[in-house]
Structure 1
């Protein structure tokens, strides 16, 4: 897939994630229970890989102790039917592009269908990479946005809910709304928005315009938005975005979905020639953020009039814009709003599998109730036992000093280390699923030091200095420290809240320039060791949070194996590494 996009559609370099085919992953459900899920990037070590997820599939099967022959259904989170191809070609024919451009693009889309995305091409690729050809009767192609919606529904406990799905683009669409009742999806067809009016793609175009990687670095634009207030008037709102009475929106200038630069001239008309300065980029980012907030609030405002349900699921890449999520929920009548840990394309394999299971004739209501009664954890990927850790450590003999402690000793020692200005790599259990580090492959630090953010950004993560860090907080203490409004928890870092005034000076390393934090709430049930560590750290310091950022450096996936963790530890200025029950320091850093 990556070869086709790079050779035929120019998706190379900074633009390599812009088109279809990023975030490859696999997931496995057994009797409706999610037993395994992992992104391919964690295993092949290529961030946001476009490659076929053969390693992820193999690991899921091995984890469950089964083979391809044991699988009852194979679900794919795309449905590029022949009808979708014809509708795509019709849209190109009707466009105002020059005829030679249309002819070339139609040829590319036809070849893309035949060689990459058609059901026949997908199954042929599956067989070539795995050696297994699924029985067509066992195959389900789930439309991309329905996979997103089902991901949210399944991970939220399969309770009836309204949904908003918004991302860059799927087969032909970018956003839609609807309901899920008893596992059955109803799409409000008049809210479906095509790819030419994609808020996700427009935000990616702005990301590219500001010098970042589209479909990858949108969170940098979110970070920049905190450094400015939206301009008044906001040219995105006044000149580009149009809101319609049916809950949809459009742009006065439609996107050219094959040209990421189609709006660059417009952006410079609005904001002046591009300047690589914080003042310029933050002003554009703040304006873009306000536009996204207004567009999604318009959709939700219409949705709440269309449904009598009180829960809202927000899924798709746009749902990872956590700056938007809190005001979106607070401005709605919905009693709860969930954004899952699988909201981006990493999670749609879960949704496709759940969709196939929910719609299988042998799935009974009692089966759904039984599966829904078991909470789903994000810790779904590979774990490594003591033997695997010790084997990995052998390769670093002489370069590290290792102490093995029991659980209580480990918590006590790490909590004491964190009272100092140190950075710690924390590695335990099964790797988390999704784009956020949720405490199993994390870098931890004390937010009480004003310069700890700069230390981590420059010495460890090797990333831009304006980037903020998220705090861990005990769920029962979170409303005291953060103004959470109607939310009581945020376990997946999908909401941003203002830090209460009396705590801003106590956790400066975890407070963004605009006075907010993207928090992860902890409970003893979900993360017992990490929660115990935070409790003990708080007892020692009276600081109620820990900084948590992903255990990786810029441009690399989150570490998966003990060897990955050791390599990252040795190549950065992380002070200590916790591998399971091992506390590890670098030999050249150890002093008497």
Structure 2
């Protein structure tokens, strides 16, 4: 069985800009963002890529025409070979009725209600209804799918199935939390033998979304909501949360069954509706780091308290020992470690596709599970890698290098020479672009499209932030470490691995002066553990670097600059290399240096 997963809408950003006041990049961050496609062949995930990697528009919500075509081309398939198309949204007629009921029951003015109803009507008929999605698919691809072979998967169930598949399809409880899905923002439940059971009493409506509240804080602090929440997370390390915490005293109220509400519902027609409350409890908005850090620390503590409240309720409802945490809120890795450590679960899985980057995968899995027999599913124990996107052969790399020959010089190295020479370079204060194999899936570079540096230099993070990434100086960097060495360097608690940078751990005191460039101001690091099996050449590089320096980690950050997607093609990598102060580029097996360096 061949299943194509597909997330993205041609007109949705236009509709949000026209009817909901979403301007600039924000128009991509409300619905359908992280557009992409995936391909499952007889239950095996053979390809997946975000549309932004190909069309070069960060967080794009556009229909993923390039991603769809690449997935099929990679597998040598035609549209006619597809058995099912899976869409990670289900805007049914019943969902529309519920959305309209939500609007009519709010306390906003009649004029505002009519405006919202008009906007929702245009959104439904022009972009997200079943009929609109089918028409969009046909218009953008030239292929009209059989409506009976299109599976519309509720958004949060797609999230849950993403985690279920990536964690090995073991029975597990789940917590899904994000900004909003069709109508809701969070739910909990179980997956047993592929069958999903939602604990309805724990469902949270969109008007009380902890994800949207955190996004409101993100906007209030001057960042882009639904994109820059990680900046708020990073800022929170520069302050202690105020006591009492205004969010927990005045804004959020916890209830039974893991539910929670706000002092008043979020207003979908006014994204700044909570700004007066923030100013009331934190004082007038300021641009000072101290002020922003205090608000960020309070928001971070609030997030941990709320999600812990949800997880405790989930613990009481299930006898399963493993939990999946999915949705955009799960990318808050600073929250994930205390959330797991305070739980009774044996393990918590937060994957590389936890945000909407993964829902095209989860929708395909949901459709496959629903259309295959139990015996067939049990034969498959998926071993999922994040390296699912395009790769480029040596001939393409060298042809691209020739096109840039007036600006770069290069040498082709053997695999052993790559490891030896790059490790030697990294003993100095240099920044290296590292490019190999298939591009990783998800929002974080995991060693195939990375920027590497030596964490022993305390000021290396300042250099990378200002001269390379062109971003705020308070932003921390992740260390990559061999999985076998991780407990020696970090206080891992009950976790044994963190391959996707989804958990944060304290750096052991004796290593804080060894890796200051990868240690945040609060003494923690967002860790990526690696193995020879997952990333053999990167693991060999780290092992060689450690032998030369006695430093067990390397800084790993995404190969891009602020506002740009992670590089995909060799040309993307060369353009980023030439537009920044990266010292060297390891492009496949070609060691590249800028002409002006000679």
TM range (shorter): over 0.9
Q: Is structure 2 residue 409 aligned with structure 1 residue 401? A: yes
| Residues 14 and 214 in structure 1, CA contact (< 8 A), matched pair in contact too | no
CA deviations on 1:142-171 (whole Å, 9 max, x unpaired) are 000000000000000000000000000000
The answer on 1:137 being equivalent to 2:142 is no
For residue 66 of structure 1, the aligned residue among 71, 77, 86 is: 77
Which residue number corresponds to residue 370 of structure 1? 379
Structure 2 residue aligned with 1:435: 443
Does the 8 Å CA contact 2:15/2:122 hold for their aligned counterparts?
no
Alignment pair present for 1:349 and 2:363: no
Contact 1:161 1:311 in 2 (8 A): yes
Q: 1:469 matched to which residue of 2? A: 477
Matched, 1:168 2:176: no
Structure 2 residue corresponding to 1:53, chosen from 64, 75, 83:
64
Q: SS at 1:517's partner residue?
A: strand
- Report if the CA contact (8 A) 1:32-1:367 is conserved: no
2:397 is matched with which residue?
389
247-256 or 443-452, larger mean C-alpha shift: 247-256
Checking the alignment, whether the CA contact within 8 Å between 2:13 and 2:28 is kept in structure 1 is no
2:108 aligned residue (85, 97, 108): 97
Instruction: Tell me the equivalent position of 1:415.
Output: 423
> Is structure 2 residue 204 aligned with structure 1 residue 193?
yes
1:219-238 deviations in whole A, cap 9, x for unaligned? 00000000000001110011
In structure 1, the residue matched to 2:565 is: 557
State the TM-score, normalizing by the size of structure 2. Answer: 0.97
User: Distance in 2 between the 1:37 and 1:521 partners?
Assistant: 22
Q: Which residue of 2 aligns with 1:147?
A: 158
1:269 equivalent to 2:280? Answer yes
Alignment: residue pair count: 587
CA contact (8 A) 2:36 2:357 kept: yes
Question: Could you tell me which residue of structure 2 aligns to residue 582 of structure 1?
Answer: 590
Task: Select which of 318, 321, 338 maps to 2:329.
Answer: 318
Does residue 88 of structure 1 match 2:99?
yes
Q: CA deviation at 1:367?
A: 2.3
Contact 2:112–2:269 at 8 Å: present in 1 too? no
CA distance in 1, matches of 2:61, 2:374: 37
DSSP-derived class of the 2:505 partner: strand
3-state SS of the aligned residue for 1:346?
helix
Secondary structure, aligned partner of 2:163: helix
CA distance in 2, matches of 1:582, 1:179: 48
Question: Normalised by the size of structure 1, how large is the TM-score?
Answer: 0.98
- CA distance in 2 between counterparts of 1:232 and 1:2 reads 40
Is the partner of 2:256 in helix, strand or coil?
A: coil
Aligned equivalent of 1:285, options 296, 302, 314: 296
Tell me how far 1:14 sits from its aligned partner: 5.5
State the alpha-carbon separation in 2 of the partners of residues 398 and 542 from structure 1. Answer: 38
| Alpha carbons 2:454, 2:517 under 8 Å: kept | yes
Instruction: Answer yes or no: is the 8 Å Cα contact 1:14–1:212 preserved in 2.
Output: no
Work out whether 1:4 is the aligned partner of 2:12. no
Match of 1:111 among 111, 118, 122: 122
Aligned equivalents of 2:279, 2:289: Cα separation in 1: 16
Q: Is the 8 A contact 1:92 1:106 kept in 2?
A: yes
Q: Distance in 2 between matches of 1:561 and 1:302?
A: 46
1:327 correspondence with 2:335: no
Aligned-pair CA distance for 1:450: 0.7
Out of 541, 564, 572, which is 2:549 matched to?
Answer: 541
Structure 2 SS opposite 1:583? strand
Match of 1:15? 26
In structure 1, the partner of 2:500 is 492
Deviation digits for residues 285-311 of structure 1 (CA, Å, limit 9, x no counterpart): 000000000000000001001000000
User: CA RMSD for the aligned pairs?
Assistant: 0.8
